[in-house]
A and B are shown apart, each in its own frame.
Chain A
Amino acid sequence: MQRNALPRLMHAASTRPLSLAQHEEVFATTQRPASLIDELDASGLTGRGGAGFPTAIKARLIREQRGHKFVVVNAMEGEPASHKDQTMLSTHPQLVLDGAEYLASIIGAKDVAVCVARDNPTIVNHMERAIHERSRRSLRGPKLELHTPPWRYVAGEESALVHWLDDNESLPQFRVSRPHVLRIGHAPVLVDNAETCANVGLIGRFGAEWYRGLGTSKSPGSALVSVTGAVRHPIVLEVSLGTPLREILASAEADTNPQAVLLGGYGGSWLAGEHLDLGYCNEELGLHGVVTGAGVIVVLPRNACGVVETWRVVRWMANESARQCGPCAFGLPALGEDLKHLSTASRDPLGAFKRLEERLGEIDGRGACRHPDGVVRFVRSALSVFEHDFNNHAHAHACAASRATTHYASVPHLEREEELVWE
């Protein structure tokens, strides 16, 4: 494997997942690092699931705990616009498992739980086969087990996932303070995203020095991005962190002169189209209050209405609330209602606009998980990026685009509350 070249995570990727033998051949190496945790520290890897927390710090926190421990590989991929985890698992399942085993040896865990949403049977199959291959090869190493929780937006949130493994309910848990050690029974749990695990797999084989060959000094390595919206085909790309957004859009064959792009995911932020020269990494995007998050880019062309797109996403996110906390269960649908009146510019849109701004301040930071905070951030970014449109809509001048029937931020079918599955 070359140090300065892509692809890494998608190296030798084909339409079929690599078998264990093929995997060992493709990622063959002679120099294995001596101390995994030090390499992980030096690599500067940050989590790819959304929060972007340094993986080594998280691993050290669990490593200090005593007793029986778990590593949980989170491939739930709750973001509707994200396809990177399923791409990872359907090309290099063994690399992800490599990473999970390295993490298990770092923290001293005897069990690895791989979590894939049961709604995606192909990926479940790939994973079953990959785990079976490993267990046939040797009896050493941690015990690998596949788990298939239901697919919900918040089911991939780490406390909800651990809750499911512990007690069969995909509901987020309340944490008194952070960082907080999640537990299955009494056993501490390290939860890492599937792409993070794949990166750990690479670091464990080639070392931190090699890993830093791509990316910036603060955001080293490469990342997978799912580009959807105004693109020829929805696509998952591997990019070196720090690559200008314009270049990413060009190689995805997307609209390179868009009105705005949505970054991070549906709990992420809109970024106006004139900032496409920014590099795709947190230190540059952070200047505009945007993060790379779960690696989602939704491209919104100039002929679309940002108000309507925002409303559709918020309506779906409100429906995906676990309805445990009042501010989320009542607040998010209320935001959705306000945005609906604004989108259609009917029934006192100006009143709705003012109410919306007040409610945003009320909801922020008041749930057990970050689901409501994500929606608030998303709406706030929409208010600043589409300021002009929101003002027009508020004064009952709905734009022509708001009546269009094509939408760019795709949302799944809205289920009725009683149809939602949590166990």
Chain B
Amino acid sequence: MGVRRRSGSFILQVNPILCDGFGHCGELAPELVTMDEWGYPIITAEPTPYNDARVHESARYAERGCPRQALRIRRVSD
């Protein structure tokens, strides 16, 4: 109700050149992001369906919360 259902799936993608390892994404989207020993994000390569609203919301928080604007949500065709 009031929730827009979207088909397809997305991945969260980091531009490693922009990324400076602030680590906000790991806090904001723990479902998708783990940290390596140097504090840079390891993002799952597995596409997430847009239907999974909770994870999609976390991904959007991570995208907006990145101080270096290094994250993008990208639709993948499947």
Contact = CB atoms under 8 A, between A and B. Distances in A.
Interface of A: 172-174, 176, 324-328, 330-331, 334, 359, 362, 366-368
A325 B39 CA distance: 12
B68 to A, nearest CB: 11
A375 to B, nearest CB: 15
A326 to B, nearest CB: 4
Nearest to A362: B36
Given A176-B74, A362-B36, A362-B37, A326 B16 contact: yes
A327 B40 contact: yes
Contacts of B17: 172-174, 324-325, 368
Nearest to B15: A174
23 contacts: A174-B15, A174-B16, A174-B17, A176-B72, A176-B74, A324-B16, A324-B17, A325-B17, A325-B19, A326-B16, A326-B19, A326-B39, A326-B40, A327-B40, A330-B38, A331-B36, A362-B36, A362-B37, A366-B16, A366-B40, A366-B42, A368-B15, A368-B17
A362 B35 CA distance: 10
Nearest to A328: B16
B13 interface: yes
Given A176-B74, A326-B21, A368 B37 contact: no
Size range of the chain B interface in the assembly: 10 to 19
A359 B72 CA distance: 26
A155 to B, nearest CB: 16
A362 B39 CA distance: 12
Given A176-B72, A326-B39, A331-B38, 14 more contacts: A174-B16, A176-B13, A176-B74, A325-B19, A326-B20, A326-B21, A326-B36, A327-B40, A330-B38, A330-B40, A334-B37, A362-B42, A366-B16, A368-B15
Contacts, number: 43
A367 B19 CA distance: 11
A328 B37 CA distance: 13
Contact of B16 (A325, A334, A362): A325
B23 to A, nearest CB: 11
Contacts of A359: 37
A325 B74 CA distance: 20
Contacts of A367: 16
A324 B18 CA distance: 8
Nearest to B19: A326
A170 B42 CA distance: 26
B15 A327 contact: no
A368 B16 CA distance: 6
A31 to B, nearest CB: 45
A377 B36 CA distance: 19
Contacts of B15: 174, 368
B72 to A, nearest CB: 8
A172 B16 CA distance: 11
Contacts of A327: 16, 36, 38, 40
The list of the 4 closest CB pairs from A to B, nearest first, reads A325-B16, A326-B40, A330-B38, A324-B17
Nearest to B43: A366
A174 B70 CA distance: 11
Nearest to A367: B16
B76 to A, nearest CB: 10
A331 B16 CA distance: 13
Contacts of A366: 16, 40, 42
